[in-house]
Amino acid sequence: MSEEIKSHFFAIRTTGGQEKIVMGLLENRIKLKKINVQSVLLVDNLKGYVVVEANDANAAYDLIQGIRHVRGQLRGELQFKDIEGYLVKKSTVSELEVNKTVEIIGGPFKGMKATVTRVDKDKEEVTIILLDAPYQLPVTVDANYLKPVAS
């Protein structure tokens, strides 16, 4: 019998501009002290806050005690719908591999197929060779313009 654990979201107020530092400190504390917190979210359009996903308010409260740049925890909790719009979809670049065929879904080569020759995960760019071109010309495009083709 497995019991479903319902997680709760809590907004943690931080010093403005220190959200990434606070997030790193919280992640380290979770690993070191094995605090029962599922995730720490950095929400782009929510300046001065990080969001903590925990089983209950006590776990979130324990997590933030004594952490630098933390200014407190908002009373109550956030609903998933409150933050859902801020969550970023996973980048396409993680699904792309060298020597795989892709379809170009944006930009000047839209609709063409190509072979991936290089993937730069940091820049989210992919170098491809167009299959329909009369000669092999490597082209670097944004990874979000590509869609893997099932082989």
Closest by CA position to 61, among listed 69, 73, 53:
73
Tokens of 32: 């070191």
Residues 90-146 pLDDT 10s:
667 888 899 999 999 888 888 999 999 999 988 889 999 999 888 888 999 988 889
Closest by CA position to 20, among listed 34, 41, 37, 36:
41
CA distance 47 to 16: 7
The pLDDT assigned to 127 comes to: 95
CA distance 40 to 13: 13
**Element containing residue 20 per DSSP (H, E):** helix 19-33
The pLDDT assigned to 137 comes to: 85
Interhelix angle 19-33/57-64, nearest 10 degrees: 110
> Could you give all domains of the chain from N- to C-terminal order, each with its CATH number?
8-84 (3.30.70.940), 92-148 (2.30.30.30)
pLDDT band at 1 (very low <50, low <70, confident <90, very high): very low
pTM to 2 decimal places? 0.56
What is the layout of strands, in order, in the sheet containing 37-41? 37-41, 49-54, 8-14, 70-73
Residues 27-75 pLDDT 10s:
999 888 888 888 888 877 788 999 999 988 888 999 999 999 999 988 8
